[in-house]
Chain A
Amino acid sequence: MIIPRKTSFISLPRISVIAGHTFTQLVRMKVFYFLIIFAVLIWALKQFVLGTFTGGDTASEQQLRLLKSTSYFAMNLFSIVMAISATALLIPKDIEDRTLYTILCKPVPRLDYLIGKLLGVLLLIFVSLIFMDLLLSVMLHYNTQSLIASEISLMGAGGNSEVLQERITTLNAHGLTNNIHYATLVIFFKAAVIASVALLISTFSTSTIFTLILTIIILLIGMIQADARELILKASERGETSIISKLSMFIVLVFPDFQLISVDDGVIDGKIVPKLTLLKITIVSFFYVALYTSLSWFTFRKKEF
């Protein structure tokens, strides 16, 4: 007599099989070409732009700032575009191609499938960000050292050693510190939250375009909601409570605050990321990812194909 084997609800090996497959699938879609573009961009920046900054005390900082802001812009762009499009495309594609039939007919719980897909996309983003972070770090280190060397040779002749020391400290603060990696990590967290939003939407939407548009709208709401919240707070201090303010309080609760999950602006200015802030961002990101993934499962659980 045959008794079906018990299948555990969440199985890490199974999730990693799906995640690994999703990762390979994306790699074979040639997304890593972006990294080549990134490398070329950074190289061109160094070769043709950075050298042209001359004179003035802040010129050196400007150079480092430009390097960082360009890199972070590219990292943000890549991770957000990947998080939205890969997540929004892959699951509907599985449904449309009916590959999902064959997967769900194996003893694979639907939650495992969702988590696997999400992790696959995130793995790809993570690996790409590590690559970009490494490249940025090398460039930043190299540039900072050469800037410091040139300042020393410039001021060394008759300069005040105290002033020189201060310059070196400033330049080092703008150069390669752990804050650079923290900013990258936070970019990854932001992408994770966005991907989980896209995952949720793709479980109930009937078209990929709809998923893309709705995710972008939520992303935009998330980016401006901190400002909106401030406005409302001011309004309510003046005693004006309207439907709009109640509505926006609801929005604040449901939609992620992407301004909170962002430190790269500060790092570009050479500021330090406090450990507490980093911890807070980590917790908030995990909370949102878990929330949206559970909601996705809720709608995906009973879905019919």
Chain B
Amino acid sequence: MTDSGVTRDIAVEVRNLVKSYKSSFKRQTFQAVDNVSLQIESGEVYGLIGPNGSGKSTTMKAVLGLISPTAGSCRVFGADSTRVDARSEIGFLPENPYFYKHQTSAETLRFYGKLCGIRGKKLTNKVNELLELVSLEHARDRRLGGYSKGMLQRVGLAQALIQEPQLLILDEPTAGVDPIGSREIRDLILKLKSQGVTIFLCSHLLEQVQEVCDRVGIIFEGKMVNEGTLEELTEIRNQHEFIIKNASPALVQDIEDLIANNQQAEVVRSGKPRSSLEKLFIDTANEQKHNKKGNKS
């Protein structure tokens, strides 16, 4: 790191990332990720959202150096992702994590801890601490072959935290976890954030993304179509929203009449509120589909 200042606080930097796969029979290639750029500042929680197959996991794998980019580059704390060094500060939770079935959860954590160079008493303490954190103490000496999906997810999370990484990459952290567990994971993310850990996650549970993320990127068919802070993305400037509790039908009627009498204003939508990120997501997806149809005809 020679020229500090600009690159100082960047934890993850993805620059014009392209990843294409050969479609098996046709000669053409298929672009799983198409010119995606994003920056995550140190200490930030960044959420990537998008439909199935839009390239979220592929982007994460490129950041981890599991795949090499067709074009563009990824850097983690200034180190190129293709280098092993970049991984010393990353904890990764893959989607649907699987571990060695013959190991117990305690053994699994010990194994990953040793791979990171942690030994002895420190490792034992860390393993106990993490098992408690993900509420798996009761199952610590059972083989993972008999674990449920949500339990495996918890092991995955504990494994990602073993070396106290400065960057956490979580691919659908709450998939398969029960409501209480996913609440705990949310709280954990917020706690880690308060400790200054950078978090890069993707999830289909938009409410959760909204609760924890500082910034969100929406990816659609490999392209980044929208990105910004939560406020920027969800705010609609020329609109105003009331959320009224215990409103009688008469009051609602009165308000609607009042608006109807106004020359400029009109009611865009009324009804029960829903999470705005979800709305944004669906709107964006619809818009993209619409655009595609428009382009074709």
* A contacts, CB < 8 Å to B: 1-7, 9, 13-14, 17-18, 21, 24-25, 28-29, 97-99, 101-109, 302, 304-305
**Contact, CB under 8 Å: A109 / B89:** no
Q: How far, in whole Å, are A17 and B113 apart by their CA atoms in the complex? A: 10
Given contacts A102-B112, A105-B87, contact A2 B92 (CB under 8 A): no
**Contact, CB under 8 Å: B100 / A25:** yes
Across the interface, name the chain B residue whose C-beta is closest to A93: B100
Chain B residues with CB under 8 A of A7: 84-85, 87-88
> Quick check: which of B75-83, B229-237, B242-250, B276-284 contacts chain A, the rest being far away?
B75-83
Within 8 A of A (CB), among B55-110: 61, 64-68, 76-79, 84-90, 92, 94, 96-100, 102
Q: How far, in whole Å, are A2 and B85 apart by their CA atoms in the complex? A: 12
* Interface size of B in residues (CB-CB distance below 8 Å): 41
**Contact, CB under 8 Å: A305 / B66:** yes
Among B68, B84, B92, B96, the one with the most A-chain Cβ atoms within 10 Å of its Cβ is B84
Given contacts A2-B166, A14-B117, A105-B87, contact A21 B98 (CB under 8 A): no
Instruction: Kindly list 5 other residue pairs between chains A and B, CB separation below 8 angstroms, not including A4-B89, A18-B115, A103-B115.
Output: A1-B9, A101-B66, A103-B112, A106-B163, A302-B68
**Contact, CB under 8 Å: B87 / A98:** no
Q: How far, in whole Å, are A107 and B83 apart by their CA atoms in the complex? A: 9
Q: How far, in whole Å, are A247 and B156 apart by their CA atoms in the complex? A: 51
Across the interface, name the chain A residue whose C-beta is closest to B108: A102
Name the contact of A304 in the complex, choosing from B68, B96, B98, B112 (C-beta under 8 A): B68
**Contact, CB under 8 Å: A97 / B117:** no
**Contact, CB under 8 Å: A28 / B85:** no
Chain B residues with CB under 8 A of A29: 102
**Contact, CB under 8 Å: A97 / B78:** no
Q: How far, in whole Å, are A3 and B88 apart by their CA atoms in the complex? A: 10
Q: How far, in whole Å, are A104 and B64 apart by their CA atoms in the complex? A: 9
Chain B residues with CB under 8 A of A3: 1, 77-78
**Contact, CB under 8 Å: B115 / A4:** no
Among A5, A18, A104, A107, the one with the most B-chain Cβ atoms within 10 Å of its Cβ is A107
CB of B128 closer than 8 Å to a CB of A: no
Given contacts A1-B4, A13-B117, contact A24 B102 (CB under 8 A): yes
Name the contact of B79 in the complex, choosing from A1, A4, A13, A108 (C-beta under 8 A): A4
Q: How far, in whole Å, are A264 and B88 apart by their CA atoms in the complex? A: 48
5 closest pairs, A vs B, by CB?
Answer: A105-B92, A107-B88, A5-B88, A28-B102, A304-B67
**Contact, CB under 8 Å: B84 / A109:** yes
Among B4, B64, B68, B111, the one with the most A-chain Cβ atoms within 10 Å of its Cβ is B111
Chain B residues with CB under 8 A of A2: 11, 42, 77, 89, 166
A58 CB to closest chain B CB (Å) equals: 50
Within 8 A of A (CB), among B1-21: 1, 4, 8-9, 11
B23 CB to closest chain A CB (Å) equals: 16
**Contact, CB under 8 Å: B102 / A25:** yes
CB of B114 closer than 8 Å to a CB of A: yes
Chain A residues with CB under 8 A of B61: 305
CB of B153 closer than 8 Å to a CB of A: no
Listed A/B pairs (8) with beta-carbon separation below 8 Å:
A2-B11, A2-B42, A2-B166, A5-B88, A6-B85, A103-B112, A302-B68, A305-B67
B281 CB to closest chain A CB (Å) equals: 27
CB of B174 closer than 8 Å to a CB of A: no
CB of B260 closer than 8 Å to a CB of A: no
**Contact, CB under 8 Å: A17 / B78:** no
Q: How far, in whole Å, are A93 and B244 apart by their CA atoms in the complex? A: 56
Within 8 A of A (CB), among B30-70: 42, 61, 64-68
Chain B residues with CB under 8 A of A105: 64, 66, 87, 90, 92, 94
Q: How far, in whole Å, are A106 and B94 apart by their CA atoms in the complex? A: 12
Q: How far, in whole Å, are A98 and B64 apart by their CA atoms in the complex? A: 14
Q: How far, in whole Å, are A107 and B159 apart by their CA atoms in the complex? A: 13
Across the interface, name the chain A residue whose C-beta is closest to B1: A3
CB of B252 closer than 8 Å to a CB of A: no
Given contacts A101-B92, A105-B64, A304-B68, contact A5 B85 (CB under 8 A): yes
Chain B residues with CB under 8 A of A106: 87, 112, 115-116, 163
Name the contact of A98 in the complex, choosing from B84, B89, B98, B111 (C-beta under 8 A): B98
Q: How far, in whole Å, are A304 and B62 apart by their CA atoms in the complex? A: 10
Chain A residues with CB under 8 A of B97: 98, 101-102
Q: How far, in whole Å, are A264 and B61 apart by their CA atoms in the complex? A: 49
Across the interface, name the chain B residue whose C-beta is closest to A17: B114
Q: Mark B114-128, 1 if CB is under 8 A from A, else 0.
A: 111100000000000
Among B85, B100, B159, the one with the most A-chain Cβ atoms within 10 Å of its Cβ is B100
Chain B residues with CB under 8 A of A108: 84, 87, 115
Across the interface, name the chain B residue whose C-beta is closest to A21: B111
**Contact, CB under 8 Å: A107 / B42:** no
Across the interface, name the chain A residue whose C-beta is closest to B4: A1
Given contacts A1-B8, A305-B66, contact A107 B87 (CB under 8 A): yes
Across the interface, name the chain B residue whose C-beta is closest to A11: B117
Q: How far, in whole Å, are A167 and B1 apart by their CA atoms in the complex? A: 79
B115 CB to closest chain A CB (Å) equals: 4
Q: Mark B228-269, 1 if CB is under 8 A from A, else 0.
A: 000000000000000000000000000000000000000000
